Every structure is written in C-alpha cells, then in structure tokens.
Amino acid sequence: MGTLRKPMPNSDTEDVLSVQHDKDELLKNIKQLVSIGISLSAEKNTERLLEYILISAQDLTNADGGTLYLLNDDDKLSFEMMRTRSLDITLGGPTHNAVQLKPIPLFDKQGEPNNRTIAAFAALTGEVVNIEDAYSAQGFNFEGTKEYDKKNGYHSKSFLTLPMKNHDNQIIGVLQLINAIDTRSGEVIKFSDDSQRLAESFASQAAVALTNHQLLDDLRTLLERFIEVIAGAIDEKSPYTGGHCRRVPEIAVMLAKAVHRADKGVFADLHFSDQEMYELKIAALMHDCGKITTPIHVVDKATKLETIYDRIKLVETRFALLKREAEINLLQEVMSSTDKEQEALRKNHEELLATFSEELDFLRHTNIGGEYMAEEKQQRIHEIAKRRYRDFNDEWQPLLTEDEVYNLCIAKGTLTAEERDVINYHMQSTINMLEKLPFPKQLKNVPEIAGGHHETMDGKGYPRGLTREQMSVQARIMGIADIFEALTAADRPYKKAMPISQALEILGNMKLESHIDPDLFDVFLHEKVYEEYARGFLKEEQIDDFNEAELPGFNKLN
C-alpha cells in the first residue's frame, strides 16, 4: 500500500492564507479599538482613564513600557503616568505614587523649541516618531532615558512617540511606548508599521476621550464655582446666611452617607450612588439661592424694632424725654409746695423714674425676641404704649407708635407675619430659579431636593405643602440639615450658639410633631451624625454631655 503524502502548498495557497491572516488581524484590531473606545467613553474617573489609556496602548502594540504626558498651561509636558511591565513599576494615575519627574518644557529659556527631547518634539510638530534603537539614534537627547535604565537595571531600546490630538486638532499630550516585544521570541523589536498605525488611531481616540472628560470636569467646576459665587453674594449680602449655605451641605452629605451605610431600620436597603451624593451636594449648596432676592433688612433683622437701624434707640430717647418732663413737673410743683409736700413729691418722682427705667429695660429685653412671648407681656406693651411724651416741637406724642407695638408684640423670633412671608418666599424664589436652569440629566432632581427643606411630613410646610410621601429621601435629608445648622449656628444675630443637646431636643420634638422625617432623625442620632458635624464646625462649649435615650422621639433602631 502506498504512503499518503500531504500536498505541498503552492505560492497561491500561501498568498491566500497570508491575505486571510491579514484580514483576521485587521478585524481583530478593529474590534479591539471599538471595544477600547467604548470603555474610554464610559470611564468617569480621570485618573482611571489615564491608566486605561496607557494600559490599552501597551496591549495594542505589545509594549513593555509606556509614559503618558499631558500638556499643561505652562507649555510643559507633565508626567501623568509611567508603567513598565517587566519591572512591575506603575507610577501616577490612580496609584498613590506620583511620578517624581519634572515636567518637560516645550521651549527653552530663550524661547527656542525643545526639539532635542523626543516627547517635546512630538508635541511641537505633531509628528509620530518611531525609533528602532534609542542608544544609536541620532537627533534626540536620550541621556535621561539612559540614566533611568542605569538606575533601574533596564534597557530602553525601541520607542514609539505619538502626539495626542483632540477633535479640534489640538495637541493635548503625548503617548510614548517603549520596547515592543516580539510575541514569538520575546525579544525587543522595532514597533511595526501596523502597530504604529494602530497606535495612531488609538491615540486619537484617547485624546478625544480625555478632552471630553476634561470638558465635563471643566463644566462641573464651572457649575460649582457659579454656585459658590451665588453663596458668596448671599454671604456679602448677609454674613449670617452665607455661612449657612456652606455648612448645610456638610450635614446633608454626612446624613446621606449615614443612611447609605445603615444596616438597620427602614433604610437598611437604601444606598446612594456617587452621582446621587453629588446631586445632593449641589442641591444643598443652592438650597437658599432665592434669598438673594430677599431684602437685607428682613434677612438680617436681629431685633424686633430693627429696620435700617434698631428703633429701640428712639424709644430710649423718648423715655429720656419722659424723665425730662417729669423733672420739669417736679420743679414746678416743688416751687408751690410746703417742705412736707416736697418730700412726698420727690419720693413719687423717684418711684416714677424707677418705673420708667424698669419699663425701658422690659422693652429692651422684649426687643431681642425669643422662642415664645407670653400674652401678658404683649398686653403690658400695649399699656406702656399709652404713655405720652412731649417732643422737641412741644407736641404730645404716643410713647410707642402702632408699628412699634406691632413689632414688639411678635410672639416668636423677630419677624412680623408680613416679614415672615417675605422670608418664606425665598423658598418659592429658589424653586423658580432652579427650575429655569437646564440641569443635565444627572442633576435633574436638584430643584426638588433644594426646594423641599421647609416642607413638613404632615403637609403643613411651605411653599407647596408637600407630605412625606411626596418628597424624596434627599429632600427630607435637607430639612434636617437645614434645621440643625440653624439651631447650632454661632453667627446668627438674634440668638446664642445652641448646645447639641438642646438642638437635638428641639429636633426630637419636631419628629413627634411630624415636622421632620422620623426615620432620618433616628439615623441622625444612632449614626452620630451630629457628633461628626460638631467636631468640624461647632464650638467646644456647644459639645455637651447628654443621654440620647432621654431625648424626645428617641427610638431604638431595629
């Protein structure tokens, strides 16, 4: 029986196989580029994006080493990331080890282009540089490379240096790949033409992805700076609300993180994404932006009689005139009375002056405002107002005007009902302002979150009278953050800084009265959010000892 022989391939067969191999490689490379492009556009973190770009470039070209430079505003290439597989070295990017190398200037001190440095040359000219052997190459200075090799026991041979151009054809950086490795022999070889073309395509993709990412970062920074400008404007308008605008976000984010990590209670299965946390932060920063429309004399009304100035000074002047009138009356009566009568007159006069002083002290105290003013005190103000004094035109006037009586009889705080309406309108103004802004999709809930911090769980809040079920958890978080900051703030003109225990007692009562979310209050207590905030923002004397279990509304978290 004869032996079967495998037919020898002819040249036509070899050509067909070669073409098919090239097609397969091209298809593989296209698929790889598409896959990498999708991943590039999906990455949200800048440092991880830099790392992914460098690793992908090394994978595409089978390069052992690589460096990613970005062009900064000073016309210098900053070392953003370095990676050498065989040495197991990774610097920059998301690692905690920054590249300790000085940026490469594109121009020398005389303003001449730095064409001797290969990375600077690529950035200046926009040309790709493919070098087979750096140690024998002419025209470029590789002294720094040789020093690196000597220090690390490495040999940098083949180089592929690519400028990174964005969609506007602007150079934003340089991608440098070192030592192409032959997949069969493991030897260092020159970067092939196919590898170069593949790397060029990838460098363009990476540049566009980086530019888009930087644009998003710039827009995000712009938004945050814009918000800070608004907060700064409110701060300049009123130092009391400006601090509030900066501190409320701190409490809101702390409470949201506590909800996120809670493994007990109704929020055990609720978790916030990074994007939702950022959305809450933005909403918290802007929650009082409507106050920019509120008159300053209302925002900063520290006492009941304050307008442009505190009218208690006018009241003091009138009491001085009352005393002057009493002195004149005494002198007139003394002149026509006996010694015995004069003694009684002087005694009555002293009692009258004492009464005036006591009434003025009462009005001064009443003018300050507080949590509650009894009805009998309000009635006493009406009685004092019946007194009359002679003004500088020698005409009789009431000691207190109707408006002064109305303001002094404010039962809570320093604002009249009309002024309270003006203040409350800031909430509707905030919503109106925010709803007009074209927020991106990831921030679309900012108006709802920011606009809900004065709503209550029972629907009796403002401006829309929403109930608990009609509000997002983030909006309810805002309510607690806003109240706790206001209670513990040390920069308000109408009250002293409140200790933590007193603030929590008020919050506890608000829970029982369906003013704030009861479950969020439980998390606020049990996760010690108040304690975390106090360490960073409250005065030492405000941090007092108390028993949580004795607070109103305390509930053991299950």
Proportion of the chain above pLDDT 70, given as a percent = 90
Tokens of residue 152, six digits: 């690390």
Q: Which helix (H) or strand (E) holds 316?
A: helix 312-335
For residue 232, is it within any domain? no
Q: 448 with 396, same domain?
A: no
Nearest CA-CA partner of 223 in 439, 48, 47:
439
Q: 476 with 387, same domain?
A: no
Claim: this prediction has a pTM higher than 0.75:
no
Q: 341 with 465, same domain?
A: no
Proportion of the chain above pLDDT 90, given as a percent = 58
Burial category of 224 from C-beta neighbours within 10 Å (exposed 0-12, middle 13-18, buried 19 and up)? middle
Q: 410 with 489, same domain?
A: no
Q: 500 with 542, same domain?
A: yes
Q: Is a pLDDT exceeding 70 seen at residue 35?
A: no
Q: 277 with 361, same domain?
A: no
Q: What is the mean pLDDT of residues 481-492?
A: 88
Q: 325 with 464, same domain?
A: no
Orientation of helix 518-526 relative to helix 473-488, angle to 10°? 60
> Tell me, what CATH number does 260's domain have?
1.10.3210.10
Q: Is a pLDDT exceeding 60 seen at residue 97?
A: yes
For residue 41, is it within any domain? yes
Query: Alpha helix (H) ranges present in 175-238?
Result: 193-237
Nearest CA-CA partner of 70 in 89, 86, 50:
50
Q: What is the pLDDT of residues 338-369, one digit of tens each?
A: 877 888 888 999 999 999 999 999 999 999 98
Residue 388's CB: how many other CB atoms inside 10 A? 13
Q: What is the pLDDT of residues 435-463, one digit of tens each?
A: 998 888 889 999 999 999 999 999 999 89
Q: Which residues contact 413 (CB under 8 A, 6 or more apart)?
A: 369, 370, 494
114 SS3 class = coil
> Tell me, what CATH number does 78's domain have?
3.30.450.40
Burial category of 537 from C-beta neighbours within 10 Å (exposed 0-12, middle 13-18, buried 19 and up)? middle
Inter-residue contact 256 to 280 (CB < 8 Å): yes
Q: 453 with 410, same domain?
A: no
Q: 163 with 288, same domain?
A: no
Domain count, the chain: 3
Residue 235 phi/psi, 5° resolution? -60, -45
What are the residues facing 188 on neighbouring strands?
A: 181
Amino acid letter, 92: G
Q: 60 with 183, same domain?
A: yes
- Structural domain containing residue 448: 238-292+436-550
Q: 155 with 250, same domain?
A: no
Q: 130 with 199, same domain?
A: yes
Residue 391 phi/psi, 5° resolution? -80, -175
Q: Which helix (H) or strand (E) holds 364?
A: helix 339-368
Q: What is the mean pLDDT of residues 535-545?
A: 92
Q: What is the pLDDT of residues 383-439, one digit of tens each?
A: 999 999 988 888 999 999 999 999 999 998 888 989 888 888 888 888 999 999 888
Inter-residue contact 491 to 240 (CB < 8 Å): yes
Nearest CA-CA partner of 33 in 190, 156, 191, 208:
208
Q: Which residues contact 285 (CB under 8 A, 6 or more apart)?
A: 224, 227, 228, 231, 245, 246, 249
Amino acid letter, 423: I
Q: In this structure, what is the dihedral angle of CA atoms 232, 233, 235, 238, given to the nearest 10 degrees?
A: 180
Residue 68 phi/psi, 5° resolution? -115, 120
For residue 297, is it within any domain? no
For residue 2, is it within any domain? no
Q: Which residue in the block uniquely carries the two structure tokens 């009861």? A: 518
